[in-house]
């Protein structure tokens, strides 16, 4: 995944990355209770209610990203600051609104190369069926930010959700510390 992208870039995952994730998800055990308990210890009750609604695949991915962020920040001034682990855990919560399967996500990623964010927003707001779900998936960062804020979640998590897809990541560096942004980006691709 790339952290760069123009105002219409959607999403950052490539077809090969999604294919690899689909294969890994097919053979990977589901997130275990200890992982979920760890996430619950980091998140506020409202954040956890939003977080736990994700698919098993997305929960596992979020745990992995959260643990990587915790590790990457361990030797920095941001060690132990749960805001950044929360941001990692919550970055994809908006995907739950689309309810796309992994194969449908591959199709959505291919479609994103043709259709920009403006089209995705129109589909999410006015289309129906699969086209609406596609639009919702493509703007999952914006949706996630709204969900986090509605649940009383931390603003840092909402901001990261809103910009993590890459089309506005540079905005985060003005709000979130650059070392944290780097850790969040690197942890989402490892």
| 134 or 13, which is more confident | 134
Q: 15: pLDDT confidence band, cut at 50, 70 and 90?
A: low
Q: pLDDT digits over 76-97, tens only?
A: 999 999 999 999 999 999 999 9
* Whether the predicted pLDDT of 28 surpasses 70: no
CB 156, CB 149: distance < 8 Å: no
The C-alpha atoms of residue 65 and residue 104 are separated, in whole angstroms, by 22
Residues 94 and 143: their CA atoms lie apart, in Å, by 5
- In this predicted structure, what is the pLDDT of residue 189? 82
Q: Is the pTM of the predicted complex or chain greater than 0.75?
A: yes
Q: In angstroms, rounded to a whole number, what is the distance separating the alpha carbons of residues 121 and 114?
A: 14
Q: What is the mean pLDDT of residues 32-52?
A: 96
The rounded percent of the chain whose pLDDT value lies above 90 is 63
Average pLDDT, the chain: 86
Q: Give residue 110's pLDDT.
A: 87
In the predicted structure, residue 124 carries a pLDDT above the cut 50:
yes
């Amino acid at each position: 995944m790339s952290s760069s992208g123009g105002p219409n870039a959607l999403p950052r995952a490539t077809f090969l990355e999604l294919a690899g994730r689909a294969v890994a998800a097919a053979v990977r055990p589901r997130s275990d209770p200890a992982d979920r308990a760890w996430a619950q210890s980091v998140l506020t009750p409202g954040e956890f209610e939003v977080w736990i609604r994700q698919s098993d695949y997305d929960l596992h991915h979020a745990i992995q990203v959260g643990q990587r962020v915790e590790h990457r920040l361990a030797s920095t001034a941001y060690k132990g600051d749960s805001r950044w682990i929360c941001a990692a855990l919550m970055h994809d919560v908006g995907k739950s609104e689309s309810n796309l399967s992994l194969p449908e996500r591959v199709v959505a990623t291919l479609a994103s190369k043709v259709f920009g964010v403006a089209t995705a927003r129109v589909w999410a707001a006015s289309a129906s069926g699969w086209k609406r779900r596609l639009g919702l998936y493509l703007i999952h960062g914006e949706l996630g930010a709204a969900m986090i804020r509605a649940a009383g979640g931390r603003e840092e998590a909402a901001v990261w959700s809103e910009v993590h897809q890459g089309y506005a990541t540079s905005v985060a560096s003005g709000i979130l510390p650059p070392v944290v942004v780097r850790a969040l980006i690197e942890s989402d691709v490892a």
